[in-house]
Structure 1
C-alpha cells in the first residue's frame, strides 16, 4: 500500500476548478452629510464616520450604526 501525500493536488489545465480568484469589491467611503439609501431603513444622511469605517446614519425617526461591508447601503 502506498502512503498518501499530504500536499495540495495540482489541477489539470482544462479543469473547471481553475477559476481565477476575484478580488473583493472596494469598500465604499462615506463622508459626513452624504445622502444614502438603505434597503431596509430607507433614505438617510450620514452624521458620523468612525475610524474603522463604521458609519452612523440618521434615517429620520431612528439612527443606526452600520458596519462594513455595506451590502444594503448605497451612496446617492
Structure 2
C-alpha cells in the first residue's frame, strides 16, 4: 500500500534541513567585542559584506559571517 505522505525523519537525521543562523546586523557606533582584539566600536558598515571596527588606535575590517565579533 502506497501513501502520498513522506517518510518521517527522526530529529537527529543527517537528512534534516539545516537551521539557518540568524544574520548579525551592525550599525555605525555599535560597541562590539572581538575574540582576539577585545573591545571596539564600529566605524563603517559595508551592507552584509564587512564592518570596520576601531580597536585601541587601529582599525580592523571584519568580514561576514562575523563569527568572532559580538555586539554588546
Superposition TM-score tier, normalisation by shorter sequence = 0.7 to 0.9
Contact 1:29 1:53 in 2 (8 A): no
What value does the CA root-mean-square deviation take over the aligned residues? 2.2
Larger Rg: 1
Which runs of no fewer than 5 residues in structure 1 stay unpaired? Answer: 1-11
Which runs of no fewer than 5 residues in structure 2 stay unpaired? Answer: 1-6
| 2:56 match | 60
Equivalent residue of 2:33, what SS?
Answer: strand
Q: How many residues align?
A: 65
Scaled by the length of structure 1, what TM-score is found? 0.71
Higher relative strand content: 2
